[in-house]
Every structure is written in C-alpha cells, then in structure tokens.
Amino acid sequence: MPTLLALLVLAACSLPPERPLTRRDLSRTNAYRLYTIEESPEAVLNALNREGEVVLEGSFRNRPVLIKFLATPEGIEVTHYNR
C-alpha cells in the first residue's frame, strides 16, 4: 500500500471518472494477467475513482516496469514504461 501512495503521479492533471469504475472495468483490461502487481484490485479501483490516474510498480515478462492506469469515459486505459 505505501508503494501505491508513493507512486500516485500527476494527480493534479487528471480528474476522477464521471461514473465510478467497477471491478468488471478493471478485469476488462487484463492488467492482472499481463503484469505482476502487488496492489489489490480494490486499492487500484479506489485510487482510480478518487484521482482518475494511478501509477504502480510491477513487472512485465520478468522486467520491472511502471504501470499507468488512466480512467477515461470509455473505461480504463493501461500502459507500461520500463523502469
């Protein structure tokens, strides 16, 4: 959980979603299948619904990455960047 709070980035540049995101919205991204993420889905959803954006540490194919979740009107957008 401290990692989640420490890595909230650019919160001032993003807005909370118009409608609250659900666990179903998060599961549509397949993020928990593609990436190794320590934070729980509930913690990610809480941050997205509060801030509109969250950046987490994780791994993709055994490489450390930063995973960015962005709440959009169409759902959740997920991108990753090498650390």
Q: Are 70 and 47 in contact (CB under 8 A)?
A: no
Residue 12 has a pLDDT of 45
Domain that holds residue 57: 2-82
Tens digit of pLDDT at every position of the chain (83 positions): 555 444 454 444 678 888 999 999 999 999 999 999 999 999 999 999 999 999 999 999 999 999 999 999 999 999 999 98
The per-residue DSSP string of 11-78 comes to GGG----SS---HHHHHHTTHHHHSEE-S-HHHHHHHHHHHSEEEEEEEETTEEEEEEEEEETTEEEE
Check: CB of residue 6 under 8 Å from CB of residue 48. Answer: no
pTM above 0.85, yes or no: no
Name which of 48, 46, 38 is nearest 75 in CA terms: 48
Domain total of the chain: 1
